[in-house]
Chain A
């Protein structure tokens, strides 16, 4: 049966056809739909599926399942692997019994990430085999295979799709769904208890497994070569499709080696391929993972093939590839002329950066805190989520953003170094549970003089509205139980009350916490909106210039409100002329 599947859906489909017992994840673009799809299959097939509190817990939970001989899949974005890395690095030594597949999605560009880190490098660092799909259809096949490979090697296996595989759709031939088999169960053994003596032995084992994986990959159908003469290209991942199209565009046929298993490199395949060539261009997005291994191999085996790629600047290590980039590199490599088609230049186009939605409660939260901080020197530390967009004009409400949960840590460091300045850490509810809890313990224990503003919209909005523990667990109660006495709550749609809460929290000498509660309007459709009375609007532009709500724009000399207004009422609360009114839709 053929289905139209997004890469992430294809991965999920492959996993359920492999008969998984457990699926875990923490949301992150571009990986989120892997688990979202698995969660839809779970009730029918009877496997366990959960959005975990963070990637580390997700990996540990899945590893537990694999210790018992179950098959498990964990999906995350590339930076999620950083959070889970403590578990993953040790797990490589301990190994698994049931198949464990870590889906780690990379985001060259980056489109929705803080970094462009390359998970294939991480795989090499951890000593784990990694599969690199070129398309959704291949991602599906690789996922199924990854479980068998994991069981054969006794190691977790990493599947590394990139954005253009995750968020690409393709017609995929699928098989039948498999309910999980009975698990053999956990058996006690000293091999599950990592101690230095075991580590020393298992490290040798891990290195041996690399050679075993390499032998398997030499025979793998994911590594395919076609020979067409003494000039060739080695490629992997989504770049494969770009290379094929480039050759068609340039009207050339070159020898082509497609690598689906970048680490460990299938050396025999590569040596055999290079032996036919005088020169080869290596085309891979992100870091030169294949390239460096090929150069090392060619040097060791004294293969007289000229190797080009990133090291001699044919292709960049940064950014995302496409046919146009690959075409100009390949043309240059072949000494051909490739003039990009000329297109007329358009008139000046407006910048269209992502913006907090109309009626986003974070707008009210930031605005209220900015008001409360007027006349004081307050630093606003930000975090990861929709609210990172609060850094954009006109709100300009964030002075820092680093990584998940860092607002709390950075705020403490800033406050300790400049005690005369107050620091506010803005953190979303999902991010708070993901990485903010240990930092909260630190603040409570060390009595750090900072204000925590929890932007509680009842969801993990940025990644597609996933649930999180905060829907059931009361973080304000935790803060109180840990001795933070100033714990306040406010509705960011109520400007006055929120400013009051913010002012109180900022005035506190010790730690304080404000829970800013209002659900994301993308989840709960509002029956209200605001309208402008043009006869009252003086055209002062205050609402627009202070709030930057995308529902508002100019119509000649007065402000007008579009159909995307969610009726948060914030603009009406600041209009000095009383020209804005909330009404039923």
Chain B
């Protein structure tokens, strides 16, 4: 299984891919990830690749082979859509992160147009206002937990509890309550979307 996690530096993408990878390891599955570490972490576009059960392949997911695109930001979802296979699912956080280039008028960002595009281009799109849910859980920093919670609703080779526990182990213990709540809210949000 191939999962692409895309977003903006500082949103907690690396933690999300690590949690997924640790949960896969726990389940006895071969796992590979590739992460964006370095300059791009300063508000740049970042992406993690997670490959489960493909022991001989490199860590980068080729074009049109990802089963799931987990996007923390709508523009970044669109940027990485080429990775998603036909029939794949995309879980997309709808609130945008405005890059400085947009505030300065140097580049355009029509968020509604991007969301409409995703709606039309993805076979199984799931949209959720993850930022609002994170705030509801108690901290905007729990955005990645909301997204993992939402992800856990899809058909994964790792169980919901394993994923949650793996993530909590990587996070400071004093944030556990907020993180559990965020995970649950993300999961519920997707339940609400399924028909």
CA distance A393 to B100 in the complex (A): 9
Please, which residue of chain A has its CB at the minimum distance from the CB of B58? A241
Q: Is A469 an interface residue (CB 8 A)?
A: no
Q: How far is the CA of A100 from the CA of B43 in the complex (A)?
A: 38
Q: Is the CB of A355 within 8 A of B58?
A: no
Name the one of B9, B59, B62, B121 contacting A164, with C-beta atoms under 8 angstroms.
B59
- Do A553 and B103 have beta carbons less than 8 Å apart? yes
A243 and chain B: residue at smallest CB distance: B58
User: Secondary structure at chain A's binding surface: helix, strand, loop or mixed?
Assistant: loop
B42-63 near A? 1/0 per residue, CB < 8 Å: 1111000000000011111011
Does the CB pair B39–A112 fall under 8 Å? yes
B139: min CB distance to chain A, Å:
9
B104 touching A327, Cβ below 8 Å:
no
Residue B140 contacts which of A386, A462, A563 (CB distance < 8 angstroms)? A563
* Interface presence of A175 (CB below 8 A): no
Which residues 241-271 of A have a CB within 8 angstroms of B?
A: 241-242, 244-245, 249
Whether B38 and A357, one on each chain, are in contact in the complex, defined by CB atoms closer than 8 angstroms, is no
Q: Which residues of A contact B86 (CB under 8 A)?
A: 341
Which residues of chain B in 20-48 are interfacial with respect to chain A, using CB atoms and an 8 Å cutoff? 21-22, 24-25, 29-45
Closest to B82 in A: A343
Which one of B109-117, B152-160, B175-183, B187-195 is at the A interface? B109-117
Are the CB atoms of B62 and A249 closer together than 8 Å? yes
Interface pair B60/A164, CB less than 8 Å apart? yes
Q: Which of A344, A348, A386 lies in contact with B42, CB distance below 8 A?
A: A386
A341 touches B64 (CB 8 A): yes
B130-174 CB mask vs A (1 if < 8 Å, else 0) is 000000000010000000000000000000000000000000000
Which of A168, A352, A357, A544 has the most chain B CB within a 10 Å cutoff? A352
User: Are A29 and B37 interface neighbours, CB within 8 A?
Assistant: yes
Given A2-B25, A352-B75, A548-B100, residue A112 in contact with residue B45 (CB < 8 A): no
How many Å lie between the Cα of A33 and that of B75 in the bound state? 30
How many A residues are at the interface, by size bracket? 35 or more
Given contacts A350-B109, A352-B101, contact A344 B114 (CB under 8 A): no
Q: Which residues of B contact A496 (CB under 8 A)?
A: none
**Which of A324, A344, A353 touches B121 (beta carbons < 8 Å)?**
A344
Which of B41, B59, B78 has the most C-beta atoms of chain A within 10 angstroms of its own C-beta?
Answer: B59
With the chains together, A426 CA to B106 CA distance in Å?
A: 26
0 or 1 for each of A114-149: is its CB under 8 Å from B? (1 = yes): 000000000000000000000100000000000000
A322 on the B face (CB < 8 A): yes
Distance between B118 CB and nearest chain A CB, rounded to angstroms: 8
Which of A249, A323, A349 lies in contact with B58, CB distance below 8 A?
Answer: A323
Partner of A346, one of B22, B32, B35, B114: B114
| Residue of B36, B40, B98, B103 contacting most chain A CB atoms (<10 Å) | B103
The reply to whether B44 and A353 contact each other, CB–CB distance below 8 Å, is yes
Asked if A350 meets B9 with Cβ closer than 8 Å, knowing A355-B44, A386-B42, the reply is no
B residues less than 8 Å from A242 (CB atoms): 58, 60
Q: Does B103 lie within 8 Å of A352, measured CB to CB? A: no
Closest chain-A Cβ to B169's Cβ sits at a distance in Å of: 11
* Contacting pair B57 A30 (CB below 8 A): no
- Contact partners of A553 in chain B: CB under 8 A: 98, 102-103
Contacts of B38 in A (CB 8 A): 29-30, 111-112, 462
Q: Cα distance A553–B103 when bound, in Å?
A: 5
Measured CB to CB, the closest approach of chain A to B155, in angstroms, equals 22
Q: List residues of chain B with CB within 8 A of the CB of A564.
A: 10
Do the beta carbons of A349 and B104 come within 8 Å of each other?
no
State whether B57 touches A554 (Cβ < 8 A).
no
Neighbouring A residues of B76 by C-beta, 8 Å: 352
Contact status B58-A245, CB under 8 Å: yes
Taking CB atoms, residues of chain B closer than 8 Å to A350 are: 75, 98-99, 101-102, 107-109
B184 at the interface (CB under 8 A from A): no
Residues of A within 8 A of B21 (CB): 4, 169
Chain A residues 524-562 with CB under 8 Å of chain B are 544-545, 548-550, 552-554
Q: Quick check: B101 and A552 within 8 Å, CB to CB? A: no
Report if A349-B103 is in contact (Cβ < 8 Å); known contacts: A111-B38, A241-B56: no
Residues of B within 8 A of A386 (CB): 42
Q: Are the C-beta atoms of B63 and A355 separated by less than 8 Å?
A: no
Q: Measured between alpha carbons, how far is A245 from B32 in the docked complex, in Å?
A: 14
Given A249-B62, A323-B58, are A545 and B18 neighbors across the interface (CB < 8 Å)? no
Contact indicator A352/B99 (Cβ below 8 Å): yes
For the complex, what is the distance from the CA of A2 to the CA of B25, rounded to whole Å? 8
**CB of B136 to closest CB in A, whole Å:** 14
Instruction: Mark out the residues of chain B between 64 and 101 whose CB falls within 8 Å of any chain A CB in the assembled complex.
Output: 64, 75-76, 78-79, 81-82, 84-86, 98-101
For residue A20, CB closer than 8 A to chain B, the reply is: no
Q: Which residues of B contact A221 (CB under 8 A)?
A: none
Q: In the complex, what distance in Å separates the CA atom of A557 from the CA atom of B113?
A: 21
Cβ of B57 to closest chain A Cβ, rounded Å = 4
Partner among B43, B107, B117, B140 whose Cβ is within 8 Å of the Cβ of A357: B43
* Cβ B42 vs Cβ A343 within 8 A: no
Q: Which of A4, A240, A322, A352 contacts B44 (CB 8 A)?
A: A352
Q: Knowing that A171-B25, A355-B42 are A-B contacts, what are 7 other residue pairs whose CB atoms are under 8 Å apart, sorted by A's residue number? A: A164-B60, A167-B36, A170-B31, A346-B121, A349-B78, A352-B8, A544-B103
Closest 7 CB pairs of A and B: A241-B58, A112-B38, A341-B64, A323-B62, A354-B44, A346-B78, A350-B109
Q: List 17 A-B contacts (CB under 8 A).
A: A30-B38, A135-B58, A168-B33, A168-B34, A170-B31, A249-B62, A341-B86, A344-B120, A344-B121, A346-B117, A348-B108, A349-B109, A352-B44, A352-B75, A393-B104, A553-B102, A564-B10
Contact residues of B with A, CB < 8 Å?
8-10, 17-18, 21-22, 24-25, 29-45, 56-60, 62-64, 75-76, 78-79, 81-82, 84-86, 98-104, 106-110, 113-114, 117, 120-121, 140
